[in-house]
Amino acid sequence: MTRKTIAVLVVALAIPGAALAARARSTAEAKVTYVLKGTLSAYTAASSAADGSITIHVDSANYHSRLLTGKDLTFAISAQTTVTLNGNTTITNASHGVVKFRAPRKVTSAALMAALRPGHMKARQVIDQGRFHPGV
């Protein structure tokens, strides 16, 4: 074998190992989006001086947040939180909607509930879907 062939083989074998090592480090700190769907209430808009808040009774949730179904959770809303008001000027109590937040991917239910203490976790996005009308 020539030196060039050996060098190519060494580089080819080193690249997958480096990629796996980088991937192993990043998954430990990976965050995912938790999506909660339910009934919104107690909405206070954020201002430039203070955070607002929103409470959601969770009816359904994505895979990562399925442990939160049936719970009432209050989230802080900052000026950076995206709030979609569905054509209204505010979110009224008993409106259906979605609250999204980011948290570590692999977390125990106890650690997740501790992180979700009232006012501790900030919502990334709040979507007001309007009032629910059964039978429509």
pLDDT digits (tens, 9 = 90+) for 44-57: 999 889 999 999 99
Contact at 8 Å (CB) between 45 and 76? no
Residue 4 lies in a domain: no
* Number of domains into which the chain is organized: 1
Residue 16 lies in a domain: no
pLDDT digits (tens, 9 = 90+) for 104-129: 887 777 787 777 776 678 999 999 99
Give residue 52's domain range.
31-131
pLDDT digits (tens, 9 = 90+) for 4-24: 777 666 666 667 665 555 555
Query: Model-level pTM?
Result: 0.73
Residue 17 lies in a domain: no
What one-character-per-residue DSSP string does 86-101 give?
A: TTSSSPPTTEEEEEEE
Where does the chain show beta strands of DSSP type E?
A: 31-44, 52-61, 72-77, 82-84, 95-104, 125-131
- Burial of 130 per CB tally in 10 Å (0-12, 13-18, 19+): middle
Residue 7 lies in a domain: no
- For residue 62, the domain's CATH number is 2.40.50
Residue 38 lies in a domain: yes
Per DSSP, what are the bridge partners of residue 31? 104
Spatial CA neighbour of 31 closest among 136, 106, 105: 105
The torsion region of residue 23 among left (phi > 0), alpha (psi -120 to 50) and beta comes to alpha
Residue 9 lies in a domain: no
